[in-house]
Chain A
């Protein structure tokens, strides 16, 4: 356990960056994913097409390539660090999956809900915000939980672009100490420190919302 003690500040720094990147990407991809989910169900053809193209592009390209695109191409024009490149890529990549999940959630809600709301005088957006989306998120919650957990694990892509995250620091420590086995065990445990409470929390939300319905 000397390995952990000796490198504790480094592990913690990596842990902090992984946590930060995950939180930013989670919030960002929820917002973007919801926007693109709604775009895909609007009546206007051109809006739907944009939504569709976005989802297909970011869902079907490896995350690593998107990350390299920001780190190697975009970074030539705008000054962004590896951490920023990786976090943007992670946000866009995850948002495409969240868009699909939320879209499926919206489509699962009975059409009578929107009709009732519109007939009651609510605008499309008011109906979306107060009636459709809350129900759609509840339906989508189990799959959203999966996406969140994948997101945390996928944040390890930051290691490829010097993102200072847990995986990156783990690589450094492993290279310096030659104790690869123990280093990566510790790295894995640190990931679990984020993902296990996260999955537990999503489960808890599911149960809570089931009783509220």
Chain B
């Protein structure tokens, strides 16, 4: 069953045509990596999936609901679709533990004792149990991002969106975050859509790679196919540029 489905989606910012005729299907449990040069529309695309950006034409089905339908309750979609941001967006006025516990308490009305238990287990899983009582400002970049991942997981979503989760991190912090993401990808029921420049992560974890440029999806191939013999000249050029580094 498809978890995320774009049918002829168009997105504009004023006169700027950001997403052009997007057709894309992501099945439940799939891990899909979205790559492409900056300004290609990757972040815009991923942000439409939980309604942070509106689409103007076409339809976008997430977990069976049409996001373009004004009757669709966005809060209900977001319960099932978590997002991890480039700049973490942790709640600055809450401790790490409270960051993880807040949404389950308010949105899912999860029992307080159970909520705390789940939150602590998640912090344990991302290696931050000892930072539970710290404020986000006291965490390093990598720790913040792992806390943000734990916060998303606490909602027990069906899908997770990662919008350049390691781009704002110091190099030595990236590995820990990618390890946590790898663990999540192992869970066969979790759908993951990841915008990243980490090619080694894409190679190791993705089922499929989507290559975007200028608002178009230029290539949608299996990971092996994409890295071994990319069809599109622009994808070939992009890969050769990225792999020089």
User: Which chain A residues have a beta carbon within 8 Å of chain B's beta carbons?
Assistant: 112-113, 115-123, 126, 130-131, 134-135, 138, 213
With A135-B93, A213-B137 in contact, do A121 and B107 touch (Cβ < 8 Å)?
A: yes
Complex-state Cα separation, A135 to B135, whole angstroms: 14
Q: Which of B79, B88, B92, B94 makes the CB contact (< 8 A) with A121?
A: B79
Residue of B nearest to A123 (CB): B75
Residue of A116, A118, A119, A126 contacting most chain B CB atoms (<10 Å): A119
User: Closest CB-CB distance, B168 to chain A, in whole Å?
Assistant: 11
Residue contact B155 to A120, C-beta cutoff 8 Å = yes
Sampled A-B contacts (14; CB under 8 Å): A112-B88, A113-B89, A113-B92, A115-B85, A116-B85, A116-B91, A117-B103, A121-B79, A121-B103, A121-B155, A126-B107, A130-B102, A130-B106, A213-B135
Residue contact B152 to A120, C-beta cutoff 8 Å = yes
Residues of B contacting A115 with CB < 8 Å?
52, 85, 89
Residues of A contacting B135 with CB < 8 Å?
213
Q: Which of B50, B91, B106, B151 makes the CB contact (< 8 A) with A113?
A: B91
Residue contact B75 to A120, C-beta cutoff 8 Å = no
Interface of A: prevailing SS = helix
Residue of A nearest to B151 (CB): A120
Residue contact B106 to A126, C-beta cutoff 8 Å = yes
Residues of A contacting B52 with CB < 8 Å?
115, 118-119
Complex-state Cα separation, A131 to B75, whole angstroms: 17
With A119-B83, A121-B78 in contact, do A112 and B89 touch (Cβ < 8 Å)?
A: yes
User: Closest CB-CB distance, B176 to chain A, in whole Å?
Assistant: 20
Q: C-beta contact mask, B73-107 vs A, less than 8 Å → 1, else 0?
A: 00100110011010111111110000000110011
Residues of A contacting B103 with CB < 8 Å?
117, 120-122
User: Closest CB-CB distance, A132 to chain B, in whole Å?
Assistant: 9
Residues of A contacting B148 with CB < 8 Å?
116
Residue of A nearest to B100 (CB): A120
Residue contact B93 to A131, C-beta cutoff 8 Å = yes
With A113-B92, A130-B102, A134-B93 in contact, do A121 and B75 touch (Cβ < 8 Å)?
A: yes
- Other CB < 8 Å A-B pairs besides A118-B52, A120-B78, A131-B93, 17 of them? A112-B89, A115-B52, A115-B85, A116-B85, A116-B88, A116-B89, A116-B91, A119-B52, A120-B151, A121-B107, A121-B108, A122-B103, A126-B106, A130-B102, A131-B91, A134-B93, A135-B92
Complex-state Cα separation, A115 to B91, whole angstroms: 10
Residues of B contacting A122 with CB < 8 Å?
75, 102-103, 106-107
Residues of B contacting A121 with CB < 8 Å?
75, 78-79, 103, 107-108, 155
Residue contact B106 to A119, C-beta cutoff 8 Å = no
With A112-B85, A112-B87 in contact, do A119 and B93 touch (Cβ < 8 Å)?
A: no
Complex-state Cα separation, A196 to B50, whole angstroms: 50
Residues of A contacting B89 with CB < 8 Å?
112-113, 115-116, 119
Residue of A nearest to B161 (CB): A119
